[in-house]
Amino acid sequence: IFYYLPIFNYFIFFFFFFFFLHRLVKTVDLDPRHNYVLGFHPHGVLVAGAFTNFCTYATGFRTMFPGLTSYLLMLPLWFRAPFFRDYIMCAGLVPSDKDSASYLLRQKGGGNAVVIAVGGAPEALDAHPGTYNVLLANKKGFIKMAMDCMKCAHLVPVFSFGENEVFDQVQNPRGTWLRWVQENLQSVMGVSLPLFHARGVFQYSFGLMPYRKPITTVVGRPIQVERTPKPTAEQLNDLHQLYMDELSNLFDEHKADYGIDEDTHLNFV
């Protein structure tokens, strides 16, 4: 079965690339002598942009960033399932626990780019078309991880335009009974359960197939990080605020190119 996995992966990658019309946009070069933590936003329902750009390389990541190898982090829960675990490892995914990520970031030669969907499973519950909620206000673990690396891992904000547009989701504002149920199930199971729908295979009225809409992932400027194994709360907060500012600037600089209104800004939750 493992002999045929590369062939199966090829068809899956072909589907993701052409179905969603993916595109990767580089703003600056990334020095391969360093390691990087790429914060991917937003999570969306499928994390389709992160998978296509940083696992399949179908959009030219290796050409745009020569010398870098990207690794997408995924919930450790999925690595406990036999066969499926082997499949996702063949696709280049690694568990999102601290030890796995830190191992890659502590390599002295550099050249590793760890991609983290910072909002994680809870952010999928906010993946409504036309919304730009980013679950980041209290997410500082990835910042601390970058500061704790042997050679320091520079932080790079990444925003994926169109990630929230490929599915409709049942309205679930915070405070409603549906959101309460979803959040409690997520805390128990470790994965979120958004009630999403889109189109069918042969019709566009209703189904679980995603809409065929373009997803453009923009890689921002790196934020230099000084090695601080035991950062103070002030140091951590300052770097976290700088990261949020850079992500907000990245969104504002490129939103007009993707039909987003000038008055629309990121909402940090």
Domains contained in the chain, CATH given: 8-268 (3.40.1130)
- Please tell me whether the overall predicted TM-score, pTM, comes out greater than 0.75 for this model: yes
Any idea what DSSP says for residue 130? T
Which residues contact residue 92 at a Cβ distance below 8 angstroms, ignoring those fewer than 6 apart?
54, 55, 70, 71, 72
Q: Is the pLDDT of residue 50 over 70?
A: yes
Q: Is the pLDDT of residue 150 over 60?
A: no
Q: What pLDDT, on a 0 to 100 scale, did the predictor assign at position 132?
A: 95
Q: Is the pLDDT of residue 2 over 60?
A: no
With pLDDT > 90 as the criterion, what percentage of the chain qualifies? Answer: 55
117, 43 Cβ separation under 8 angstroms: yes
Q: What pLDDT, on a 0 to 100 scale, did the predictor assign at position 73?
A: 93
104, 71 Cβ separation under 8 angstroms: yes
Look at the block and give the residue holding tokens 């760890």.
114
Q: Cis check for the bond before 42: say yes or no (omega within 30 of 0).
A: yes
268, 240 Cβ separation under 8 angstroms: no
Mean pLDDT over all residues of the chain?
Answer: 87
Q: What pLDDT, on a 0 to 100 scale, did the predictor assign at position 151?
A: 62
For residue range 226-264, list pLDDT tens digits in order.
888 788 899 999 999 999 999 999 999 999 999 999 999
Q: What pLDDT, on a 0 to 100 scale, did the predictor assign at position 13?
A: 59
Q: Which of 11-25, 103-117, 224-238 has the lowest mean pLDDT?
A: 11-25
Structure token pair of residue 100: 């796995």
Structure token pair of residue 153: 């891992």
With pLDDT > 70 as the criterion, what percentage of the chain qualifies? Answer: 91
Structure token pair of residue 81: 């399932």
Instruction: Grade residue 125 by pLDDT with cuts at 50, 70 and 90.
Output: very high
Instruction: Grade residue 20 by pLDDT with cuts at 50, 70 and 90.
Output: low
Q: What pLDDT, on a 0 to 100 scale, did the predictor assign at position 19?
A: 63
158, 136 Cβ separation under 8 angstroms: no
226: three-class secondary structure by DSSP:
coil
User: What does the pLDDT average to over 214-225?
Assistant: 94
User: Alpha helices of the chain — where are they, by DSSP H?
Assistant: 5-20, 48-51, 61-64, 84-90, 98-105, 120-123, 141-147, 177-189, 233-254
163, 42 Cβ separation under 8 angstroms: yes
208: three-class secondary structure by DSSP:
coil
